[in-house]
Each structure stands twice: as structure tokens, then as C-alpha cells.
Structure 1
Amino acid sequence: MRLFIALTPPPELRERLGELADVAHARCGGRRMPEESLHLTLAFLGNVEEVRAAELAAWVQDLVVTPGEWQMQRWGSFQRPGIVWIGGRGRDPALERLQGRLWSALEPCGLGTRPARFIPHVTLLRRAVTLDLEGLPSIDLAWSYNQLELIESIIDERGARYRTLAVSQG
């Protein structure tokens, strides 16, 4: 099972992010992420055996997440593989603590590897034709969060789709 731990936006924010994805898609082309797939990845775990995934789900359900708010104020891109995203203007200490707390528990168990750097973002497009973000509207969105999810990424002929396996306490 291919797993990751993420924050998922509430419905009204997910809808607004979908609108921004439409705007970005019109400008940059590529593959627009479906609204139901929009998230902020905190820990990508890769392939995990089912028994381990069940243990991980129980662990996630017992987690208590300190409520926080993330400010999304800029467009960004990753050259490879043509990702267009939105995120914050700078570091977010609360998200960094949450991500660090997760990795401090996951790494000793052999579940994935902490990335060298953490850039909180929501991917809106993949395989964009252009990464020229000039002319895209300014962004000022607040995302209040108090729980995270363990999500399975299922890849088939239709592409990737996500299934929530566990939700932390909120």
C-alpha cells in the first residue's frame, strides 16, 4: 500500500482551491488535480505492508493535533515534474513542528525517510506545459486545521486516487 500522512482542506476551502486550480490550468495547461485529491503532504511513507498500515492507522487515530492556521499567499512551481502549487510566503513554524513530530515517530520505525527540506504546498497541477505564473491572481487564504489523515494512494489506469484509512483526533 502506498501511503502518506496529510492535512486535507475543509469543503469550502477545497472548493476555492479547485477554482484556483481552474485558473492555473487555463494559464499553464497540464493535468488539473481533482478537488477531492487536494491536500498538504506532511509525510510520504511510500509502500507499506498491510499489517504495518493497520498499525499505522491505529497510531494516527490516537494522535492529537494541536490546532493551527496556515496562510497560503503565493504561487509556486517545481520544475520537475511540472508542478504548479500554492503555499505560504515563508516558513510556518507550527507546520514544521507538526511535520517534525511525525517524522520523529516514523523514522525509528523504518517508515519512510524525512525529506531534506519541507516546503508546505498544495499541488494544483501536474505536468504543466508552462511554469510561467505571471498574471495569476493574488492569493490570501487561511487554512484552519486540527486533524490529519493517513491516506492510501491507489494508482490504476485512471491515474492516482486517494482513500482515507484513518483520521487523527481533532
Structure 2
Amino acid sequence: MPADDTVPASGAASTARLFYALWPEPPLREALLAHQRAWSWPPGVSLTRPERLHMTLHFLGELPRALLPALAAALPPAQAPFGMLLAQPVLWRGGLAVLLAPEAPAALVELHSRLAAALHALGLPTETRPFAPHVTLARRAHQARPPLQFDPIPWTARGAVLVESVRPHGGYRVLAEAPG
């Protein structure tokens, strides 16, 4: 996915809500949507919109835009493709419905660790909970029921992207991707 080189307009916010992620290609996004449709959803659920499906590696939060060049430069080069299986539908506390990769491949763990080291080098904190690679399918999904049977979804990835959560409409914009 190409990076969006849009420069914030004059008077734009001096901060941005950011995260590092793995970004699915269109065929994978379609498979995730098919899996999402197979769930039984309760009234009031908030399904993740197709263009927002991703796997968060590190949530950075609201940061000064002045850090964007350093955060983009911290992306490790794209590596040899690595695969994982999204194979475990789970309803987490708080009504979060996710599709989990129960076994994180070594390359994904290494990518997550390299990004954490880069963030620490920039003086930024990282999440203290263990990394659980997943894609969020819905929020406010209390009492949702996952499909009884489904084929695990293979994901082949190469590198991370830096993403901005764009307000007020709530879309995402890829700002930078792993070089190479």
C-alpha cells in the first residue's frame, strides 16, 4: 500500500493519533470480511469497517506531528515474507470480538520487538501487556457468537506501516511503510 504523502494543511492539528500495524492486502481483507459476516452479532454491535481492518503492532497514541519523520524512519526494512494463521475467534472482555493468531511466528515477534526498541530509543513508552496478534472485528459485541466452523485465514506479511487515525470521520491513513 503506498504511503499517503499528504502534508497537513495550514492550521492542522499539531498532534496525530498514531499506531504501527500490519496492513492487509485486498484478498486478505475480503477473507476477514467473510469471517466477520459469519459471526452472529447482537444488536448495537459496532463492526469494524472494511478499510479499518488491520493488526496493530504498537499503539502510539496522540503524539506531536514533529515526531512523524523519526517514527517513519524507525520502521525496520521489509523482511522476507512470513506467514501466520488467524485461527481463533475470541470475544474479549469489554465486548471486543477478535480473530487471533494463536501462534505468533518468530519473524512477527522480532518485528514487534524491533519496533519497541525503536520507540524506547525515541523515549516513547510501549504496551506492557504481552503481544497478542489479532484483528479486531467488532466492538460492543457482548454476547456475539463466532462461527462454529471456519477455515483459518492465512496472512503473509513483510513489514509494518505507520498509520494515523484521521479525525473527525474516523478513517485511517497510512503515512509510511517499511522500506524495501
- In the TM superposition, 1:143-162 aligns within 5 A as 143-156=155-168, 158=169, 160-162=170-172
User: TM-score under structure 1 normalisation?
Assistant: 0.86
Give how far 1:108 is off.
Answer: 2.5
Partner SS, residue 83 of structure 2: strand
More helix per residue: 1 or 2?
1
Question: Which stretch has the larger CA shift, 5-14 or 111-120?
Answer: 111-120
Kept in 2: contact 1:75–1:84 (CA 8 A) = yes
Give how far 1:132 is off.
Answer: 4.1
Structure 2 match to 1:129: 142
Give how far 1:17 is off.
Answer: 0.4
Deviations 1:105-133 (A, max 9, x none): 11121223233211000000111131443
Question: Is 1:64 aligned to residue 86 of structure 2?
Answer: no
Kept in 2: contact 1:6–1:148 (CA 8 A) = yes
* Runs of 4+ deviating beyond 3 Å: 26-29
Structure 2: unaligned runs, 5 residues or longer:
1-15
Q: 1:58 to 1:104 in 2, by over 3 A?
A: closer
Q: 1:64 to 1:109 in 2, by over 3 A?
A: same
Structure 2 match to 1:140: 152
Give how far 1:154 is off.
Answer: 2.1
Give how far 1:63 is off.
Answer: 2.6
Structure 2 match to 1:105: 118
What is the number of residues matched between the two proteins? 164
Give the percent of matched residue pairs that are identical in Structure 1 and Structure 2: 32
Cα distance in 2 for residues equivalent to 1:55 and 1:93: 26
Cα distance in 2 for residues equivalent to 1:57 and 1:91: 24
Question: Is 1:48 aligned to residue 60 of structure 2?
Answer: no
Cα distance in 2 for residues equivalent to 1:63 and 1:91: 19
What root-mean-square deviation, in Å, do the aligned CA atoms of Structure 1 and Structure 2 show? Answer: 1.9
Question: Is 1:73 aligned to residue 83 of structure 2?
Answer: no
User: TM-score under structure 2 normalisation?
Assistant: 0.82
